[in-house]
Amino acid sequence: MPTPPLAGGTAGPAALRPLIDTVLTALHDGAALRNGPLPAGGPDTVTPRTRTATHPLIPDHGTGAHHALRSLVTALTEGAADPAHPHCAAHLHTPPLALAAAADLAASALNPSMDSWDQAPAASALEADLTTALAAEIYPHAPSPDAVITTGGTEANQLALLLARERHGPVQTLCATNAHHSIARAAWLLGLPEPVTVPAPTGTLDPASLDEALTHLHRPLLVVATAGTTDTGAIDPLDAIADLCATHGAELHIDAAYGGPLLFSPTHRPLLHGLHRAQSVTLDLHKLGWQPASAGLFAVPERHHLTPLHHHAPYLNADDDTEAGLPDLLGRSLRTTRRPDALKIAVTLQALGRTGLADLIDRTLATAHRLADLITKTPTLDLYDRPTISTVLFRPTGTDDHTVATLRRTLLNRGHAVLGRAHAEGRLWLKVTLLNPHTTPEDLQALIDLVTATTLDVTSRPTPRPAPTPAGPRTTPATPTTPATPTTPATPTTPLTEDDTPR
């Protein structure tokens, strides 16, 4: 077998073109085979089919580039949960823009590593300019705002607690019951006290409870507010929380991984009033920015706040190189090798501009309100609340939590829809997280009809009975799995959130 060609250099594009064509064909063919938002049959069907199509993964003799691409990409696409389908709307799982995915291809081909200037000369300059520009969107009046690129909200929230610890020692974190699970996890990883949990009786942090907690706790204190919860999309009262932090001498971090991009919409920006008052902010553009994961950001109002991240490794940032003018990149992340995720973000922002991105955001949030209207007009469905961002919770009228969970799994196993689940007000709800700006009113009505028909199917099934025992002593029949009357589950001790792989 000849030596495989490389992606870079002047010869790289010629080698990539036919391979990309094979990939695009496989993406199309796999989606056609799937013919829906996700493959039907559940894990028992998808796993063996995928293994059969991709076996052996390490053959003695290679199958060749086109065969390997065609077989594996087709299998992966056929078995994908496709966020570009309007009925794949469970999580903060974005259908990426084609132009962002194309930019990501360039990043992969060039493969700059963002840990030293001599591996990423232009990419490091682009990242520095982009992070400064995005930080200025969050902190428009700060003299020297800055940010670092992260893998998402989990890493950014960890940075917030890490830098607070470096400034003040073992800080006590406070957050509401609606906070993302990464806050408690970051405290654990950093050896900090377990976060104090403040009630969120209406889905957002209760200022009176926060005031009481801050009054009785010893400093140093770090309050974490949320602008866009993963369960409901709720936004905490940021200004009121910032006032309390100022009164009690506490610092404030705002996890705006979901809601942060509303800054680009003049219509919805007021929802984030007070964001600039935080000592740090988390932002994810692989949510309401339509980027391929990952595209997270951790922003601060003053560049020197990032100084504790500095790290010295002589082979990457030797003192004499830095003194000679080579940029030191190791203080730009907790990671060493990392991709130039700034490229796809910069391409998107430049291609769409402020007005283009605002249109995508406004269109998506309008779609969420349209879905809420349809649910309200459907007598067999209950709406939890009007959406704050693009998350809509609802459930079939008169059903119990077991039926709601069974309905969701039935839709998944049949390959008809990918809906999430969330607990609110002591009940389980179906969750629709709308992030597809191409979703039409007809798509929404089809989803409502699908849920209604499947609910009827699920609730009309006879109660399963145990199979008769062929021999041996008589057994007592199992209790039916569907409760005869609705039940109220215990309130979970930790909020249910989406998987933060993406967060």
- For the chain, give the mean pLDDT: 92
Contact 198, 231 (CB under 8 A): no
User: Residue 300: beta bridge partners?
Assistant: 146
Burial of 331: CB neighbours in 10 Å, binned 0-12, 13-18, 19+: middle
| C-alpha closest to that of 371 among 233, 264, 266 | 233
Mean pLDDT of 266-290: 98
Whole-angstrom distance, CA of residue 367 vs CA of residue 440: 8
pLDDT classification of 463: cutoffs 50, 70, 90: low
Residue 464: its pLDDT value, please?
58
Residue 280 one-letter amino acid: S
Model confidence, pTM: 0.90
pLDDT tens-place string over residues 234-271: 999 999 999 999 999 999 999 999 999 999 999 999 99
Degrees, nearest 5: CA angle 427-430-432: 140
- Summarised one tens digit per residue, pLDDT across range 71-103 is 999 999 999 999 999 999 999 999 999 999 999
| pLDDT in the model for residue 491 | 34
Tens-digit pLDDT profile for residues 380-394? 999 999 999 999 999
**Residues 450-466, mean pLDDT to the nearest whole number:** 84
Beta-bridge mates of residue 175: 197, 224
Give Cβ neighbours of residue 493 (< 8 Å, ≥ 6 apart): none
Tokens read off for 375: 């649910």
Dump pLDDT digits (tens) for 316-330: 999 999 999 999 999
Question: Which two three-digit tokens encode residue 263?
Answer: 């800054």
In the 8-state DSSP scheme, what is residue 397?
A: T
Tokens of 49: 């089919």
DSSP structure class, residue 304: G
Phi/psi at 336 (5° precision): -100, -85
Q: Are 250 and 278 in contact (CB under 8 A)?
A: no
- Would the CA dihedral through 29, 33, 38, 44 be positive or negative? negative
Q: What pLDDT, on a 0 to 100 scale, did the predictor assign at position 471?
A: 42
Q: How far is CA 181 from the centre of its chain?
A: 13
Torsion (CA) 326, 332, 333, 335 in degrees, nearest 10: -10
Look at residue 199 in the predicted model and tell me its pLDDT.
97
Cβ(312)–Cβ(329) below 8 Å: no
* The pairing of beta strand 280-284 with beta strand 296-300: antiparallel
Edge-first strand order for the sheet with 381-383 is 381-383, 391-396, 427-433, 420-424
- Average pLDDT rounded to a whole number, residues 447-471: 78
Task: From 181, 180, 247, select the one nearest 212 (Cα to Cα).
Answer: 247
Q: What's phi and psi for 295, nearest 5 deg?
A: -155, 60
pLDDT at 498 over 50: no
pLDDT confidence band for 104 (50 / 70 / 90): very high
- Beta bridge partner(s), residue 423: 428
- Quick one: which H or E segment has residue 455? helix 441-460
Task: Read off the tokens for 158.
Answer: 């960890």
Q: What is the CA radius of gyration of the chain?
A: 25
User: Could you tell me the pLDDT band of residue 24, with boundaries at 50, 70 and 90?
Assistant: very high
Q: Exposed, middle or buried by CB within 10 Å (0-12, 13-18, 19+), for 397?
A: exposed
